[in-house]
A and B are shown apart, each in its own frame.
Chain A
Amino acid sequence: MTALEVWTPVCTVADLIPNRGAAALLDGDEQVAIFRTSEDEIHAISNVDPFSGAAVLSRGIVGDLGGVPVVASPMHKQHFDLLTGACVDDPTVTVTVYPVRVEDGTILVGRP
């Protein structure tokens, strides 16, 4: 049996400002935070901040800690690794990372 791949087009790269995120809605009320870095890499993680339960990670500041691209939760400033979803400040916490593809300038988000 082959896994069924689901990709949802969410926006174009041009819709995102570099070093800033945006929230997108997937089927079933699932929210992802999509980020465009200054190198034009696109990352997607869960939009829900696991510490507060609020869907706000897309509104955090994007930067790096020791070279690792991170977003800082706007709620209480915990940092999440955009590549792995790991919380830099608390190794027991991780957020879901979503696969991303860019086709003709359109960003598609897959299922983890």
Chain B
Amino acid sequence: MEALRDKDVIGEWRIEVFAEESRPAYDRVALTSYVDTWDPMALQLDGATYEGDDLVTLHLGDPVVAIDRTARKVHTGSGSTVEYDALVLATGSYPFVPPVPGHDLPGCHVYRTIEDLDAIRADAEKAVRGRRSALVVGGGLLGLEAAKALRDMGLSPHVVELAPRLMPLQVDDGGGGLLRQLIEKLDVTVHPGTGTQSIESDRGRLLAKLGNGTELDVDLVVFSAGVRPRDQLARESGLAVGERGGIAVGPDCLTSDPDIYAIGECACVNGMVYGLVAPGNAMAEVVADRLLGGQSTFESGDLSTKLKLLGVDVASFGDAHAKTEGALEVVFNDAVAGTYKKLVVSDDAKTLLGGVLVGDAAQYPLLRPLVGRDLPGDPAAMIAPSGGVAVGVGALPDEAQVCSCNAVTKGAINGAITEGCTDVASLKTCTKAGTTCGSCIPMLKQLLSAAGVEQSNALCEHFPQKRSDLFEIVRSTGIHTFSELISRYGTGRGCDICKPAVASMLASLGNGHILEGEQATLQDTNDHFLANMQRNGTYSVVPRIPGGEITPEKLIVIGRVAQDFGLYTKITGGQRIDLFGATVDQLPLIWKRLVDAGFESGHAYGKALRTVKSCVGDTWCRYGVQDSVRLAIELELRYRGLRAPHKLKSAVSGCARECAEARSKDFGVIATEHGWNLYVGGNGGFKPRHADLFVSDVDTETLFRVIDRFLMFYVRTADRLQRTAAWIESLDGGIEHLREVIVDDKLGICEDLDAAMAKHVESYSDEWAGVLNDPAKLARFRSFVNAPGTPDPTISFREERGQPVPLGMPVAVSR
């Protein structure tokens, strides 16, 4: 549907969608991650509601029950009848439940929908704590996903697999053996080469008997023994079906009726049913193209997969089982390192046919595109544990797909580079490569380098270092002036890029007031006057209102100040009040009043912590489960004044309804019944992005510790003006890497980060109070050096809706 709406620019087709499930389309591949949030919205596909699209109508919870092919009408469960010009069947598949006695007892589940997981969770919670376990029937991809979900719910999973190894479709015996070793370390017990004979009810629990005689006491059973195409509707309508099920279609995805298409897991293309998402998407593209008069065809689905199961990398591509005649296998099985690598090559050892990687699948993006092509070197050398020849991106032919998610070839990427793309960001925009799973981003960088595009990290013409390197220099040398830094590590006199950047580093490292000594000369005008410059050269003033909580007395002070100085007032998006139209010489007078009333700087002018928004929380709200206001205030007071590569925003919601919009923030907190969930890397603004769940159900102390480290690591390593969202995306390994660094302390720097934040919290003082107490700093707040009392004659106001607003100014240059 997305493909059709993208391609159908003139609106040729009106789309009616009838769905059995009551939710808009969601990411079933990521179903297991539902356990992290229990938030169905987190899985919903972007744009799945088609809100505001007049050409798409969703009928959720209203499946088609019959097709009248002669009249070209469908009848739905709710009793309505709809005519069609073309019908697309995308009914998917249903879980196969083996006819084991007892398979329908309470406590037996399948693993396919959000509702299935909710039911599993309900049963898991009923189980007595301490000895909770579960049986997973089927050790394929889905079974291991289910095992992970169960383990995340606190149960000990047992996995039963008929085949002698796990993931029999994707990996071979060697790979399966290693996979078993690796996941058994994670409290998952594997029973290979045996089936489930019966399930019986036993004193409130379930007793499962296996074919090898093992008896297992479990709290629940999950069947994940494969799926079957849902072709019943097609059968009843007289459409042709495949020998082993699935609606028969040709490469054009047309069924035996020329007005009906079938795509995805319900379709049987040339005798083959595909249970993966990528072939399904490819079929959808074919149908969208054909509906618009195109001629594209679905050739054959790539069954290659790379995934992380229970933290273990598994990849399988091409002819993984060496079924090709004369195929040779090259295997490295490194039990110590916990890696298994196999390449399948042609009988002359020149052409790559396929492979299996377990434990370390880093070479997958380079090897998969080489399938069916000549190897650039000796196959053994390519997967040798060490000292091997690394496969370079140069070895790939132009037709090789670099981004398999969006089917972008090396040729297309090189084309975009020739046309002027000079960085990963522009390649993403131009080609869509790297925009889905991101695993090809290192290859995009290599292609840029290979094309001779120098990706300069230099801060500006005065400093060859990138920001994070410069930060480390400042931190380790203890240099505390810009002039010393530029004379030792840079050239020239500096500019409006490096000066504020260095000023920010000095402030992050605690070098006293930002207007002290030479630091004053480095600050952007906003930091220099501790206020935000507006279009007519006046400034706006934002006192801090932690958590958005304010007493009536303080509100009155703000109102009186605005009245007395003739300021325009507006409530900000961050739950505070902005006072506009102050001239430079008015700023200290305004702040004297505010500081005397107990206000302090809100840092609205700085690349620093702005606000921590909050909903009203459980103090008042009937639905709240935690005191979100108190936490927001504590967070805001803890991190106020922290200078960072860019502004930082935060919010705290007192329950999952998320009224504070925490997931649009750099770090957002949402209350749970047991503690707090922390989300990081959200953004509103130009490129909106929901924050990702980082840690869940933690207590307040742990929450503070994780946020301390998150912010300090960001301050140290992000690029200039890089928000946390872009920073996390840019990290090699993304959010997982971030978790390794600041939760698992993989780099051993957490103690240092903690100490740095403790120093910040301890040394905080209000910047505006610091100015009011220092005559030298105060003296800079004057309109004219030779006429301090004279107001700037270019500034004038008119009234709009009862408040002053700037009068337009004559502009010499039109832009």
Choose one: A17, A29, A38, A64; the contact of B520 (CB below 8 Å): A17
Task: Mark contacts of B511-551 with chain A using CB atoms, 8 A cut-off: 1 yes-contact digit, 0 otherwise.
Answer: 00000000011111110110001011100000000000000
State whether B496 touches A48 (Cβ < 8 A).
Answer: no
Task: Mark contacts of A55-70 with chain B using CB atoms, 8 A cut-off: 1 yes-contact digit, 0 otherwise.
Answer: 1100111111111011
State whether A48 touches B794 (Cβ < 8 A).
Answer: yes
A101 at the B interface (CB under 8 A) = no
Chain B residues within an 8 Å CB radius of A75: 533, 535, 537
Chain B residues within an 8 Å CB radius of A63: 462, 492-496, 498-499
Chain A residues within an 8 Å CB radius of B477: none
State whether B533 touches A55 (Cβ < 8 A).
Answer: no
Nearest CB to that of B790 among chain A residues? A25
Known contacts A54-B537, A54-B794, A55-B537; decide if A60 and B786 are in contact (CB<8 Å): no
State whether A62 touches B521 (Cβ < 8 A).
Answer: yes
State whether A25 touches B786 (Cβ < 8 A).
Answer: yes
B461 at the A interface (CB under 8 A) = yes
State whether B785 touches A72 (Cβ < 8 A).
Answer: no
State A62–B494 Cα separation when bound (angstroms). Answer: 8
State whether A61 touches B815 (Cβ < 8 A).
Answer: no
B812 at the A interface (CB under 8 A) = yes
A90 at the B interface (CB under 8 A) = yes
State A48–B526 Cα separation when bound (angstroms). Answer: 18
The interface size of chain A toward B, counting residues with CB under 8 Å, comes to 46
Choose one: B500, B525, B785; the contact of A23 (CB below 8 Å): B785
| Max chain A C-beta neighbours (<10 A), residue from B793, B813, B815 | B813
| Max chain B C-beta neighbours (<10 A), residue from A23, A55, A62, A63 | A63
Chain A residues within an 8 Å CB radius of B815: 51
B685 to chain A, nearest CB (A): 18
Nearest CB to that of B787 among chain A residues? A25
A15 at the B interface (CB under 8 A) = yes
Known contacts A51-B813, A53-B811; decide if A22 and B533 are in contact (CB<8 Å): no
B810 at the A interface (CB under 8 A) = yes
A28 to chain B, nearest CB (A): 10
Nearest CB to that of B525 among chain A residues? A74
State A55–B583 Cα separation when bound (angstroms). Answer: 12
Chain B residues within an 8 Å CB radius of A69: 493
A24 at the B interface (CB under 8 A) = yes
State whether B535 touches A54 (Cβ < 8 A).
Answer: yes
A34 at the B interface (CB under 8 A) = yes
Choose one: B495, B784, B813; the contact of A64 (CB below 8 Å): B495
Chain A residues within an 8 Å CB radius of B584: 59
Nearest CB to that of B815 among chain A residues? A51
B721 to chain A, nearest CB (A): 12
B415 to chain A, nearest CB (A): 31
Chain A residues within an 8 Å CB radius of B792: 23, 31, 55
- Per the 8 Å Cβ criterion, residues 45-104 of A in contact with B are 48, 50-56, 59-67, 69-70, 72, 74-75, 77, 79, 90, 92-93
Chain B residues within an 8 Å CB radius of A53: 794, 809-812
Chain B residues within an 8 Å CB radius of A50: 811-813
A111 to chain B, nearest CB (A): 16
State A51–B810 Cα separation when bound (angstroms). Answer: 10
State whether B495 touches A61 (Cβ < 8 A).
Answer: yes
Known contacts A19-B521, A56-B537; decide if A34 and B809 are in contact (CB<8 Å): no
State A34–B522 Cα separation when bound (angstroms). Answer: 17
State whether B500 touches A56 (Cβ < 8 A).
Answer: no
The interface size of chain B toward A, counting residues with CB under 8 Å, comes to 43
Chain A residues within an 8 Å CB radius of B722: none
State A75–B520 Cα separation when bound (angstroms). Answer: 18
B812 to chain A, nearest CB (A): 4
B296 at the A interface (CB under 8 A) = no
Choose one: A17, A23, A74, A79; the contact of B784 (CB below 8 Å): A23
B483 at the A interface (CB under 8 A) = yes
Known contacts A52-B811, A54-B535; decide if A10 and B786 are in contact (CB<8 Å): yes
- Per the 8 Å Cβ criterion, residues 461-507 of B in contact with A are 461-462, 483, 492-496, 498-500
Chain B residues within an 8 Å CB radius of A17: 520-521, 780
Nearest CB to that of B522 among chain A residues? A61
Nearest CB to that of A46 among chain B residues? B812
Nearest CB to that of B806 among chain A residues? A54
Nearest CB to that of A58 among chain B residues? B785
Task: Mark contacts of B774-815 with chain A using CB atoms, 8 A cut-off: 1 yes-contact digit, 0 otherwise.
Answer: 000000101111110010111100000000000001111101
A47 to chain B, nearest CB (A): 9
B312 to chain A, nearest CB (A): 49
State A11–B815 Cα separation when bound (angstroms). Answer: 35
B531 to chain A, nearest CB (A): 11
Chain B residues within an 8 Å CB radius of A93: 812-813
State A18–B494 Cα separation when bound (angstroms). Answer: 13
Chain B residues within an 8 Å CB radius of A79: 496
B482 to chain A, nearest CB (A): 9
B795 to chain A, nearest CB (A): 8
B219 to chain A, nearest CB (A): 63
Chain B residues within an 8 Å CB radius of A74: 524-526, 533
19 additional A-B pairs beyond A72-B495, A75-B535, A93-B812, beta carbons within 8 Å, are A18-B521, A20-B521, A25-B786, A25-B790, A31-B794, A48-B812, A50-B813, A51-B813, A52-B535, A55-B537, A55-B794, A56-B537, A59-B528, A61-B524, A64-B494, A72-B496, A74-B524, A74-B525, A74-B533
- 5 A-B pairs with the lowest CB-CB distances in the bound complex, closest first: A53-B809, A74-B525, A72-B496, A54-B537, A50-B812
Q: Would you mind naming 18 contact pairs between A and B with Cβ atoms under 8 Å apart?
A: A20-B521, A22-B782, A23-B783, A24-B786, A29-B793, A31-B784, A34-B785, A59-B528, A61-B521, A61-B522, A63-B462, A63-B498, A65-B461, A65-B495, A74-B525, A79-B496, A90-B813, A93-B812
